[in-house]
Amino acid sequence: MSYCFHHHHTMLAPALILLSLGAVGLCKVYDDVAELPELKFDYVIVGGGTAGNVVASRLTEDPKISVLLLEAGGSNEGVISSEVPFLFGDLFADSIYSWNYTSTPQPGLNGRSLGYFRAHFLGGCSAHNGMVYSRGAADNFNRYAQLTGDEGWSWDRLLPYFRKTEKLTDTHDTSGRINPRVHGTDGPISVSLSGFSWPEFSDHIIQTTKELPDDFPFNLDMNSGKPLGVGWTQSTIGGGERSTSATGYLTPKVMKRPNLHLLLNAQVSKLVNPSRKNGIPSFGGVQFRYGAALLVAKASKEIILSAGAVGTPQILMNSGIGSHATLSALGIPTVLDLPSVGRNASDHPSITLGWAVNSPETLETCTQNTTAFAEAMTEWETSRTGPFVDPGIATQIAWLRLKSDSPAFAKHPDPASGPDTPHIEFLLNPGGLPAPGPGNFMSIVVSVVSPASRGSVTITSNDPFAPPAIDLGALTNDFDILALKDGVGLAQHFISAPVWAGYLGAPTVDLTGDLEATIRSRATVSYHMVGTAGMSARGARYGVVDPDLRVKGMAGLSVIDASVLPFVPAAHTQAASYVIAERGADLVKQRQRNR
């Protein structure tokens, strides 16, 4: 038996053999389904991603509970681009570690289709994302509580879960850059300020907060529940390495639990073994593809879908849970007519602006110089220091409101969750994204973080392995295009602060023409999709899950991942995903106790 051995690691075989030796007979990452003791468990969790690994880890704290975790992709171990923060972008379009999704042509983006990245290996998007750690505004969560009628989703009640996930660590130069008191210190996920600085660039940002304090005030910690202003970026990095749901929650110690079973390379097609419990439809198992075989794993207590905002609605629809019209058109028998499945998808539309800068201190010193790049890699390998400990996304982030007289509000009521919720985000980057040629650059990624547009994920085939249609709905609501135009104006205002004179050169994105046309031809989205299995109040006439995350109208089936959020938070979405998973696991445990 070759526990813990995975083919694509041959490149890093020496390290892996050590790991395997230490774990033989204990580590239960099964390479072959035949090694599993049996295919019947209390809980089957679909998707070893950001949320799924949290749920698996928390449920198996109780030795009496057996869990099977099924992940479509392979292992995260030894995947170097996942470990080195600076290399994160290498995995997005990778055919092994990413699902190869492409959106439908987007009418709001001049008909362009976008690659829609989703991770396809253990850890899910937490293992390939940009590592930005932002919780969102307190009002984002208070609105979930209000909408669902469950106070448990309010900021105050979730705060203990945020802290439970976090281990504030390596806080280099903490003073004046973070408020340690708002963070957890002994959770599984490392959160830190960057271990590498770009002082000349970040000094310009901080100086801007002094020169234009009314519009761009400094905020000591954007994760306090009140994010507005400009603050230092926090990332899910510890000791110079990326921290993921796999490295943080599925530690070797957790993997030794005899009640936790993890099968990689197992793609779930649909739910099977239908029955009725007190007249309520239910499924007894999940079907998955393993190599050439189609197998069934049974769950006696619950099936938990954690396949993410694309995978979860796809599995629901494959199983006959969704819009009856859509399902019947594909010849799939409807088990439950739940038209909200896959609808109300929301993500953050963005445009990247750039300028040449008169400074040699930018990302291009690594990205355009192969010697320096190799040196930085060696430095990371030998001491976990240097530029590669940072993702190179943003030294600082700004969270901003539109002016109250913005034309955006004339067209649409304010979609933000409250007065402390930003409309706009800037990622302030000391480099070109990408650099348009040789030289030194800076970028501002301007995003609408309280968008009004909605998209969808839907199946287009009765082949459960066919990719779903992903319609991002990007910039289809006028609010979003008007807000993005204002956001570009805010960025131009930001760089009008006196400190930038002499530092900034020519813009790399021409903003002199028709701004709306420029935005529609260049905008993209932030890969923060939520809402495709949205929560709503019990008894509501729309929605997919109740506030306890159980699928409405079904027994023994819940969704625990980012797809349950009915609105996208004004934040990068991994922190919310961890918190949903922590609370979701507690909700499952409560049900188990009350059984």
Ligand X SMILES: Cc1cc2nc3c(=O)[nH]c(=O)nc-3n(C[C@H](O)[C@H](O)[C@H](O)COP(=O)(O)OP(=O)(O)OC[C@H]3O[C@@H](n4cnc5c(N)ncnc54)[C@H](O)[C@@H]3O)c2cc1C
Q: Strand runs (DSSP E) across 338-435, as ranges?
A: 349-357, 396-400, 424-429
Range list of H helices, 4-152: 13-23, 50-59, 80-83, 138-148
Per-residue x/- track, 335-354, ligand NAG (CB under 6 A): ----xx--xx----------
Per partner kind, with CB cut-offs from 5 to 8 A, the member of ligand X, ligand NAG, none near residue 343 is ligand NAG
Least distance to ligand NAG from the beta carbon of 540, Å?
8
Helix (H, G, I), strand (E, B) or coil at 518: helix
Residue with smaller CB distance to ligand X, 101 or 409: 101
For ligand X, the closer CB: 266 or 338:
266
Say whether residue 95 binds ligand NAG (CB under 6 A): yes
53 binds ligand NAG (CB under 6 A): no
Which H helix or E strand runs over 483?
helix 478-494
Backbone torsions φ then ψ of 536, nearest 5 degrees: -150, 170
As a whole number of angstroms, the distance between CA 280 and CA 336 comes to 10
Expressed in angstroms, the distance from the first to the final Cα of the chain is 38
Listed ranges 94-102, 274-282, 304-312, 393-401: which one lies at the site for ligand NAG (CB under 6 A): 94-102
- Fill in the per-residue mask, 116 to 155: x = in contact with ligand NAG (CB under 6 A), - = not in contact: ----x-----------------------------------
Interatomic CA distance for residues 456 and 173, integer angstroms: 43
Residue 521, token pair as written in the block: 């031809």
Residue 229 contact among ligand X, ligand NAG, none, beta carbon within 5 to 8 Å by kind: none
Stretch of residues binding ligand NAG (CB under 6 A), selected from 76-84, 92-100, 225-233, 586-594 = 92-100
Using CB under 6 A, pick the residue from 18, 32, 37, 100 that binds ligand NAG: 100
The interface mask with ligand NAG, positions 529-568, x = CB under 6 A, is: -------------x-----------------------x--
**Minimal distance in Å, beta carbon 506 to ligand X?**
29
Burial of 503 (0-12, 13-18, 19+ CB in 10 A): middle
For residue 270, the partner it binds in ligand X, ligand NAG, none, with Cβ less than 5 to 8 A by kind, is: none
Nearer to ligand NAG, 33 or 372 (CB): 372
Q: Spell out the residues 6+ positions from residue 335 whose beta carbon is closer than 8 angstroms to its own.
A: 274, 281, 319, 320, 321
Choosing from 175, 278, 371, 382, the residue that interacts with ligand NAG (CB under 6 A) is 371
Q: How far is the CB of 98 from ligand NAG (least distance, A)?
A: 6
Q: Do residues 362 and 442 make contact, with C-beta atoms less than 8 angstroms apart?
A: yes
Write the DSSP symbol of residue 145.
Answer: H
Q: Give contact residues for ligand X (rule: CB under 6 A).
A: 46-52, 70-73, 92, 117-120, 124-126, 129-132, 267-268, 306-309, 311, 315, 527-528, 561-562, 572-575, 577
Nearer to ligand X, 9 or 572 (CB): 572
How far apart CA 78 and CA 579 sit, in angstroms, is: 27
Is residue 7 a contact point for ligand NAG (CB under 6 A)? no
Residue range at the interface with ligand NAG (CB under 6 A); choices 270-278, 292-300, 369-377, 515-523: 369-377
At closest approach, how far in Å is the CB of 48 from ligand X?
5
CB of 461 to ligand X, least distance (A): 14
Which residues, numbered 374-393, are part of the site for ligand NAG (CB under 6 A)? 375
What is the rounded distance in angstroms from the CA atom of residue 385 to the CA atom of residue 374? 13
440 contacts ligand NAG (rule: CB under 6 A): no
At its nearest, how many Å lie between ligand X and the CB of residue 380?
Answer: 19
Min dist. Cβ of residue 24 to ligand X (A)? 26
For the bound state, the minimum distance from the C-beta of residue 247 to ligand NAG, rounded and expressed in Å, comes to 21
Nearer to ligand X, 76 or 440 (CB): 76
Separation in Å, CA 391 to CA 128, 133, 388, 491, 577: 11, 12, 7, 22, 20
Smallest distance, ligand X to C-beta of residue 410, A: 32
d(CA 473, CA 13): 44
Least Å distance, CB 555 to ligand X, is 21
Secondary structure of residue 356 in the 3-state scheme: strand
Amino acid (one-letter) located at 378: T
75 lines the binding site for ligand NAG (CB under 6 A) = no
Q: Count CB-CB contacts under 10 A for residue 156.
A: 12
Structure tokens at 188: 């599984």
Burial class (CB in 10 A: 0-12, 13-18, 19+), 1: exposed
Beta bridge partners of 37: none
Cα–Cα distance, 117 to 100 (Å, whole number):
7
Nearest one of 218, 144, 192 to 397, comparing CA atoms = 218
The binder of 369, among ligand X, ligand NAG, none, by C-beta within 5 to 8 A per type, is ligand NAG
DSSP conformation class of 333:
P
**How many whole angstroms separate alpha carbon 246 and alpha carbon 50?**
8
Q: In angstroms, rounded to a whole number, what is the distance separating the alpha carbons of residues 409 and 47? A: 39
**Short-list 122, 123, 116, 112, CA closest to 92:** 116
Partner touching 125 among ligand X, ligand NAG, none, CB below 5 to 8 Å by kind? ligand X
Give the nearer residue to ligand X in terms of CB position, either 356 or 525.
525
Which of ligand X, ligand NAG, none has residue 372 at its interface (CB below 5 to 8 Å by kind)?
ligand NAG
Q: Is 477 in the site for ligand NAG (CB under 6 A)?
A: no
Residue 371 binds which one of ligand NAG, ligand X, none, with CB within 5 to 8 A depending on kind? ligand NAG
Report the Cα 298 to chain-centroid distance in Å. 29
Contact set with ligand NAG (CB under 6 A): 95, 99-100, 120, 339-340, 343-344, 369, 371-372, 375, 542, 566
